[in-house]
Structure 1
């Protein structure tokens, strides 16, 4: 039975929103294998919807991954240029999309389901006067002890904030998107 027949017309669409931590479970460090294993587990769970004929749009966060990439860039800052945050966001968005796309294609093939899977890196328009630029609140990267967070704030110009009971993290601007382009 085709998707169109099962639902009496066009297949229903489901939007699935994942946080960046869905790719890094507690105790994991965010290795390639961690990301791939977690993407596999996510896609296996989503196959229930696919097998019922739903079409999926999967969106995801990438805070932990952006923070890790920022840290890598800063560690190499003496020999390599540090890239702007928007470039790192796009890079990590693309890599997580790649993990999901590979895992979804593998899950579909195991079930002999023929579907297209596409990764799209998005861009948004924001208001340059958004207060988020003056008061960053979006946590990225690993949790740090207060002393280390304050050192990085002082020496690297980071903005940091405490997450009660969990530690300190770098915070970056996260302006409200005005439009997806």
Structure 2
């Protein structure tokens, strides 16, 4: 039996509630199959598109005097509940259909960051919808947002993405796991919070990279595996070029070399690779699998996906 943290990518969860629910139903079958095999599974997820849409919608309403604007910390909490609800329901249904008695819980999770993190002066985390350049320039001028081109798919708004330091609810997560629960936690990287001089927690405008938080969670839980599910089947080098190459099984030192060569996009694949290396640094015997949501079953059988080991 292995302890496995599975991190679902926000971009891999679809573009609408309906699409997300259908994708989550399919993924739940694979996740429950892991439980049937005796593995202990903890689930985390991204929220880049979802938190951006929530923030955009609420602020649009505020601009038209239909309600208050909402900071990113509160939008992050909403996205945890929204995505967690879909995951929780789908997993409960799949477990019920198979006659497995296992409670499922979504835990609203906060993640500690440093308020002085240099990321606050250098936003890099893509959120929300994809735009063409003309629309992105227009929105940027109107809202004073920062946009970047995201892996050839269009332009997206970017916000600060500070490094996760501590998962505030770590003890609660472990208690729930030990009580036999299937736990969904750390959604969207966790709600970013900082401590003031008195040690009190406060939310801050940012979106933490969920892969880095998942790596921290997996290391704290002493997991044997970290599985990162995203929108592509493999990690590639020379991505999108004539000499594009698939990476199947790769060592840490080789991945560090590719990072030095700027092989991975800063807003998408680079954080996943960095998170993988952080996890293995804390768990030298552990491994990371990176693949698409749809290919999880094949990846678990070693047929597809990129595997990173020390």
For Structure 1 versus Structure 2, the TM-score category normalised by the shorter chain is 0.7 to 0.9
Q: TM-score, normalised by structure 1?
A: 0.87
Q: How far did 1:67 drift?
A: 1.1
The aligned residue for residue 32 of structure 2 is 47
- Runs of at least 5 residues in structure 2 that lack an aligned partner in the other structure: 169-310
Q: TM-score, normalised by structure 2?
A: 0.52
The aligned residue for residue 7 of structure 2 is 17
- 1:73 is matched with which residue: 58, 75, 89? 58
Total equivalences in the alignment: 166
Whole-Å separation in 2 of the counterparts to 1:158 and 1:82: 15
Counterpart secondary structure, 1:128: coil
Determine whether 1:108 maps to 2:124. Answer: no
Whole-Å separation in 2 of the counterparts to 1:165 and 1:20: 18
Q: CA RMSD in A?
A: 1.2
Q: How far did 1:113 drift?
A: 0.4
- C-alpha offsets along residues 80-128 of structure 1, whole Å, 9 cap, x if unaligned? 1110001101110121111111000000000000101110111011111
Equivalences for residues 1-181 of structure 1 within 5 A: 12-24=2-14, 29-30=15-16, 32-77=17-62, 78=64, 79-181=66-168
- Runs of at least 5 residues in structure 1 that lack an aligned partner in the other structure: 1-6
- C-alpha offsets along residues 7-37 of structure 1, whole Å, 9 cap, x if unaligned? 5xxxx4211111112311xxxx31x221211
Whole-Å separation in 1 of the counterparts to 2:104 and 2:159: 31
Task: Please list every run of at least 4 consecutive aligned residues from structure 1 whose deviation after the TM superposition is greater than 6 angstroms.
Answer: none
